[in-house]
Structure 1
């Protein structure tokens, strides 16, 4: 395992701020979960989760998670979740408006995101937060990707791959994130954090959950250049 950085490096984005009521941009995957864990560890108070669904409200954008899984996660966290259907064309408008509504409803002052080092993502998050009257909080920002994945495992995140690109293929779907998978991702020439969109995960347990999430039955389907778990009983 790589040498660990100072634990203080995990909280650079938070240390200069007093505890705040925060909204979490919740994908259901490892990065948003770990970002929330770090924010809570620093004393911030999560008040709501926000997830953007596709236009028919059947699954979440990017990760392809049905509402029943997202709602299980929210219940395990003891938090309300707002599920907002949207087309890609209206994504920013709906995201900003929903953030503003949640800010007012829960007296929030910041929103937490799980992005790591893609500057255009951070720029967009800071833009929509500013428009909604919130501060963007990115506790994982500029951390080394591989070390970050190991820290997630060490701190108790349990997750599986729910979507991946053609380079990985359908055999990676459903696999548990562990040392073996990390090695296989590296062997396949894929970033082990999936920050470039190579794969997405679903968290089934973590220290913030009161109970593990039960995943419905699924099959594997391909949509354009991406493989997804299709949830049959959701």
Structure 2
């Protein structure tokens, strides 16, 4: 049977890792490459705060090529969509018509992705879609994946989880309003070990930084939201 070539939308977190693990073990697909959207201003993954070097280290350990989609700063989605459409066009030219995503239950995000894909004659593949997030979290632990919290919404966690390893104990400390997989944006993570990696990625947590975002609600009320970010770097080899 001829396998379907598939590109992977890769954020570097636990959901991307579980999604890739599912697809690697699905005999109908051949994983061709990973791609990650990076801010041209910071050279980091937006809302994750993870550097390009860390994403490249993951791709090297997985054993797949990585394509970085550089997104120019913009208050709208225009630059994001322009860059993504260019990448999708290149995929089509190479005969790649399917893209894997790690989305779980956000209907509006999936609809947005599917519209973008449809505009380019592509099809989305969502192996985690509508799975129970508590089951996915347990699957993550059972498969011996490891991930570190790289960003978290400050107000949701009485004790900071940023810079710490995601664990069953951490999960048990979450309030009911926090999704076990952080699907509503409660937290983001950086995966550094597990069955998709040929070797673990050694990282250092240097400091925890706080950034406050301002946005308007539909009512016109201005709201400020504080996020913590872990400044992560690859561990440097010890000189001998």
CA contact (8 A) 2:54 2:233 kept: no
Against the structure 1 CA distance between its residues 231 and 175, is the aligned structure 2 distance closer, same or farther, given a 3 Å change threshold?
A: closer
1:167-178 alignment to 2 at 5 Å? 167-168=156-157, 171-178=160-167
Deviation of 1:135 (Å): 0.8
CA distance in 2, matches of 1:62, 1:230: 13
2:118 counterpart (127, 130, 134): 130
> Structure 1 or 2: larger helix share?
1
TM-score if structure 1 supplies the norm length? 0.85
For the residue of structure 2 that corresponds to 1:172, the secondary structure is coil
TM-score using structure 2 length: 0.83
The Cα offsets for residues 101-127 of structure 1, whole Å up to 9 and x where unpaired, read as: 13424x322100000011111111111
After superposing the two structures, state which structure 1 stretch, 88-97 or 119-128, moved more: 88-97
Residue 93 of structure 2 is aligned to residue 104 of structure 1:
yes
1: CA distance, partners of 2:193 / 2:32: 19
- Residue 66 in structure 1 maps to residue 55 in structure 2: no
C-alpha spacing 1:139/1:192, structure 2 compared with 1 (3 Å): same
Q: Deviations over 1:119-159 (max 9, x none)?
A: 11111111122223221001101011111111111123211
State whether structure 2 residue 36 is matched by structure 1 residue 51: yes
Partner of 2:196: 208
**Aligned-CA RMSD value:** 2.0
Greater strand share, 1 or 2? 2
Query: Which position in structure 1 is the counterpart of 2:219?
Result: none
Size of the aligned set, in residue pairs, is: 216
Aligned residue among 165, 172, 188 for 1:183: 172
**Bigger radius of gyration:** 2
Runs of 5+ unmatched residues, structure 2? 213-225, 236-240
Aligned twin of 1:149: 137
Q: Which runs of 5+ in 1 are unaligned?
A: 1-16
Deviation string for 1:158-192 (max 9, x for gaps)? 1111000022267201221221011012x374111
Structure 1 residue corresponding to 2:152, chosen from 164, 180, 186 = 164
Question: For the residues of structure 2 that align with 1:165 and 1:57, how far apart are their CA atoms?
Answer: 20
Name the CA distance, whole Å, in 1 between partners of 2:137 and 2:177. Answer: 16
